[in-house]
Chain A
Amino acid sequence: MNNTKENLTGIKPILYTIVFEIKKQRKKFYFFSVIAIIIAVLLGYILQLIPSFLLSDTQAEFFNTGLQFISFLTLFAACLFFSGIICSEFDKKTGFIVFPKINKYKLILGKYFGNLSLVVAIVTIYYFILGFLGFFYYGGPINIRFFYSYGVAILYVIALSSFVTFFSSFMRSVNLTIISTLIILLIGFTIVDQIVTLIFAENFEPLYSLAYLGSLITGILEYPFPDPRFSEFSFSGMGPGGMGGDFTFGQWVTPSIAAGITLLLVFIVVYFVLAAYLFKRRQL
């Protein structure tokens, strides 16, 4: 009985922190919810009203088109919600007030889950609108792969959140964390992926890259699942200065479902554990 009571007392600060964090970030949540609604409605409804824009043949294709922006939305949401999760306590010195009151592990867990619930809610809103529009245009039932995609999107946004939290644990300021994580996630991973593919082609799959793992969100919608997952495009022509010839450009389309999900889970745990450890060690 006493043990249960102690455990409950131990969890309570985390729960209070989750609720507090949700209240604290509510303005950001409203903003991103509006953005999510606008993008979903724009891609899923307004574009279909344009006569020259043909409605996709199947519900899965419709979802695929609608989900093209989901990786950007999740990326920006994760960066803006999680960039200040740790470093703001040091940067803005709020840690002086809160660190003596609550164990740092409990604080980071509370803040992490508080922000995560909001980011997941934003993704859910987006999927809900898209799902509703898919049902509106194509009737029921909704393609099961849409729900798989939703599951992967949730895992992806959690992995992004852990990644940004990790950066926040050692960065000096919130702005620096936002800029650096955005650059790495938007440009860094893509450039490295392309270089790696250029050098190793199908011999090395860029499974280290969060951006690549994110392609499973739309990849999982395809039926049958892309096989082979590495595709090559060849083209020929004259280049500048008389240079010309045949060019082959390779690209990894999507990771396998098992590898993608496993790695997303690994990234979630590894980045979060590292972030929590660094946070615990960091002094104000």
Chain B
Amino acid sequence: MKTMIKDEEKTMMKIQEKAIPKKPIIDRSEVVIKLENLTKKFGNLTAVKNINLEVYRGETIGLVGPNGAGKTTTIKMIAKILRPNSGRILIRTNHSELQDLAKISRTISQMGFLIDIPALYNMTAYQLLRYFANIQNYPKDKIDQRIDELLERFKLSEWKFEPVKNFSKGMTQKIGIIQAIIHDPEIIILDEPQTGLDPLARVEIRKYIRELQSQGKTIFVASHMLYEISEVCDKIALINYGSIIGFDTVENLALTLKTSELNCELLNSINASELERLIDRLAESLDPYLDKNLDPMISKIPVKYYPEQQGFKIFYDGKNESKGEILKILVKEFESDFTVVSFTQPKTSQLERVYTEMVKDNDAKKKSILSGGLVKNE
């Protein structure tokens, strides 16, 4: 009987593996992009300030920050569209030595870029993509096949011979993504790839990024869309006022938070008449693990019921052990009150809070520096 279950489990796992491409292990020994004290000034404004960042082969890095934080400027410097005022960008392609980008006169054909909202020459999609593949030395005999494959993948096959001026914003964005990967580069740098896309297309892009990850590509994504970033990225770099204020996995970044949140979905909804009493009981039982210093801006109470989602949101102290204890209590002590069907830590909201908190801290630091008159020294 046991063997049968094991066999079934194995088959299920195999099916799942087929559905989601397996992400290769990141090669921690090989840094492919290294930013060293990168600084860019526009007149008196410092757009990017002393950025240091290392990206390993096969890693997917998300660059998150508010408008004007320096995301696009950083990407433009990597693409050699802007020259840094100081610092350097080191690139490694084809497992060679790390090379200073400023000293490489040729273009890096192993890199693909999507910068800003793509502005395309008014030609047909086919003419454009063929030209971009050609100038990046993609094998001539494979270009047509590659174009067809990518247009098919992004559901643009019917538009192959249409001038891009007739394309919608979302379609133009898709062509923008295709042109970045048309020559099958090792390193892909995408600036706001989901801009202008409908939700379905966003899912498609996410899927495609995962496919690229499974092929071992190194990906660098800048985005406002925290959900998209948290779903696909191994690590996240939070950028504000041109400086990196945090760079780690979502989970590790969350550890810096005083509070963390858990979503607990229930099988049935709770009766309104019982709700108040139940929440009081929950708060009492979970008290040792709840966040004692919960920011009222986030929530006034540590246990909240959401009727639409049919579940609780629990703000706990962020410790890993606490999560297990909370689950135990919910399942055992409240067995007669409700049935827990899922118990998750939402990555997006976690990231949103990490992001908000770090940006807030950074803003506060800036203000204190400004009021202390230290800016003059800078």
Residues of A within 8 A of B131 (CB): 16-17, 20
Q: Look across to chain B and name the residue whose beta carbon is closest to the beta carbon of A10.
A: B106
Query: Which listed residue, B81, B116, B120, B123, touches A100 by the CB 8 Å rule?
Result: B81
A12 touching B137, Cβ below 8 Å: yes
B119 touching A92, Cβ below 8 Å: yes
B132 touching A101, Cβ below 8 Å: yes
A95 touching B81, Cβ below 8 Å: yes
Query: Which listed residue, A17, A20, A103, touches B106 by the CB 8 Å rule?
Result: A103
Kindly supply a per-residue 1/0 record for chain A positions 1-35, scoring 1 wherever the CB is within 8 Å of any chain B CB and 0 otherwise. Answer: 00000000100110011001001100000000000
A94 touching B137, Cβ below 8 Å: no
A128 within 8 A of B: no
Given the complex of chains A and B, what is the CA–CA distance between A101 and B108 in angstroms? Answer: 8
Minimum C-beta distance from B329 to chain A (A): 54
Residues of A within 8 A of B120 (CB): 94, 97
Residues of B within 8 A of A93 (CB): 116, 119
CB-defined A-B contacts under 8 Å, sample of 15 = A9-B137, A12-B135, A16-B134, A17-B131, A24-B123, A94-B119, A94-B120, A96-B115, A99-B81, A100-B113, A101-B107, A101-B135, A103-B106, A283-B81, A284-B81
Minimum C-beta distance from A19 to chain B (A): 8
Chain B interface size, under 10 / 10 to 19 / 20 to 34 / 35 or more: 20 to 34
Chain A: interface residue total (CB-CB under 8 A): 22
A100 touching B134, Cβ below 8 Å: no
Given the complex of chains A and B, what is the CA–CA distance between A101 and B122 in angstroms? Answer: 18
A102 within 8 A of B: yes
B135 touching A23, Cβ below 8 Å: no
Query: Which listed residue, A12, A16, A96, A102, touches B81 by the CB 8 Å rule?
Result: A96
B82 within 8 A of A: yes
Residues of A within 8 A of B202 (CB): none
B134 touching A12, Cβ below 8 Å: yes
Q: Look across to chain B and name the residue whose beta carbon is closest to the beta carbon of A88.
A: B121
Kindly supply a per-residue 1/0 record for chain B positions 153-189, scoring 1 wherever the CB is within 8 Å of any chain A CB and 0 otherwise. Answer: 0000000000000000000000010010000000000
Residues of A within 8 A of B116 (CB): 93, 96
Minimum C-beta distance from A75 to chain B (A): 25
A97 touching B119, Cβ below 8 Å: yes
Residues of A within 8 A of B121 (CB): 24, 94
Please name 11 further chain A to chain B contacts, defined as beta carbons within 8 Å, in addition to the given A94-B120, A283-B82, sorted by A numbering. A17-B131, A24-B123, A95-B81, A96-B81, A97-B120, A97-B132, A99-B81, A100-B81, A100-B111, A100-B115, A283-B81
Minimum C-beta distance from A110 to chain B (A): 9
Residues of B within 8 A of A101 (CB): 107, 109, 132, 135-136
Residues of B within 8 A of A100 (CB): 79-81, 107-108, 111, 113, 115
Q: Which of A75-118 contact B (CB under 8 A)?
A: 92-103
Residues of B within 8 A of A13 (CB): 134-135
B83 touching A283, Cβ below 8 Å: yes
B118 touching A103, Cβ below 8 Å: no
Given the complex of chains A and B, what is the CA–CA distance between A102 and B134 in angstroms? Answer: 10
Q: Which of B122, B131, B134, B135 is packed against the most chain A CB atoms within 10 Å?
A: B135
A284 touching B119, Cβ below 8 Å: no
| A97-B81 CB under 8 A given contacts A102-B107, A102-B135, A103-B107 | no
Minimum C-beta distance from A103 to chain B (A): 6
| A284-B76 CB under 8 A given contacts A92-B119, A96-B116 | yes
